[in-house]
Amino acid sequence: MKRKITAAIVIALAVSLALSGCGETVRNFIMGNVDGEIGKTYSTKWFDFIVSSVDKVDEYSEYTPPEGYTLLDVVVKETNTFDEPITMGTFDFYLTTDTSSMEIYPLDPFNDDPTLMPEEFDLALKESAEYHMIFEFPADATGVTLKYTEVDEDDNVSATFSIKLPD
């Protein structure tokens, strides 16, 4: 029995070394729910991302929220790790709260500020982009969580990355 286990480990190691020698990237994909942290890099099927910072702000780029709402400035860096260009945009990330069942998406760019994430943009292979996403949500909301849900072309969900934000 011990020899069979050892042989399986040797074979697995040989296969992984052979793949790495061919220039292939071997990635471990996460399935299920991932509790994330600000400042940590996460890998999806198509890209890596890091939430660099999250700040509540009174206004952003001359935009002020209506009374009873607050703005959240989320800075995200995304790097294409897929084998072809990918389309990214404000539709990738959303907020949830304990006080509402609705998903809250970032505001569409509200002026020509180049730091704001475009509604949609292409990211070339190995290219990175860092943008601000501005979320508007009720000021009395609790349990605010930033999420990215990985959904494939057949609408299958493989993972949801959740970063609980400080109240």
- Whether residue 25 is predicted with pLDDT greater than 60 in this model: the reply is no
Position 3 in a domain = no
Structural domain tally of the chain? 1
Residue 23 falls inside a structural domain: no
Predicted pLDDT at 107: 93
pLDDT at position 31:
64
Burial 118-141 (b: 16+ CB within 10 A, else e): eeeeebeeeeebebbbbbbbeeeb
Question: If pLDDT is split at 50, 70 and 90, which confidence band does 50 have?
Answer: very high
Look at residue 159 and tell me if it is in a domain: yes
pLDDT of 80 above 90: yes
Residue 121, C-beta contacts closer than 8 angstroms, at least 6 positions apart = 87, 88, 89, 129
pLDDT of residue 122: 96
What's the CA gap between 149 and 145, in Å, rounded? 12
> So what's the pLDDT on residue 16?
38
Exposure letters 18-39 (e unless 16+ CB within 10 A, then b): eeeeeeeeeeeebeeebebebe
- pLDDT score of 28: 46
Report if residue 14 sits inside a domain: no
The percent of residues above 70 in pLDDT, for the chain, comes to 81
Q: How would residue 3 be classed by pLDDT, with cut points 50, 70 and 90? A: very low
Q: Give the CATH number of the domain where residue 154 resides.
A: 2.60.40.1240
- Res 30: pLDDT: 60
Domain with 102, as residue range(s), is 28-164
- For residue 112, the model assigns a pLDDT of 87
Residue 92 falls within a domain, yes or no? yes
What pLDDT does 32 receive? 75
Query: Which of 138, 93, 140, 137 is closest to 117 using CA atoms?
Result: 93
Give the pLDDT confidence score for residue 156 in this predicted structure: 79
What pLDDT digit, counting tens, does each position of 104-139 carry? 999 988 888 899 999 999 999 999 999 999 999 999
Q: Is residue 94, in this structure, part of any structural domain at all?
A: yes
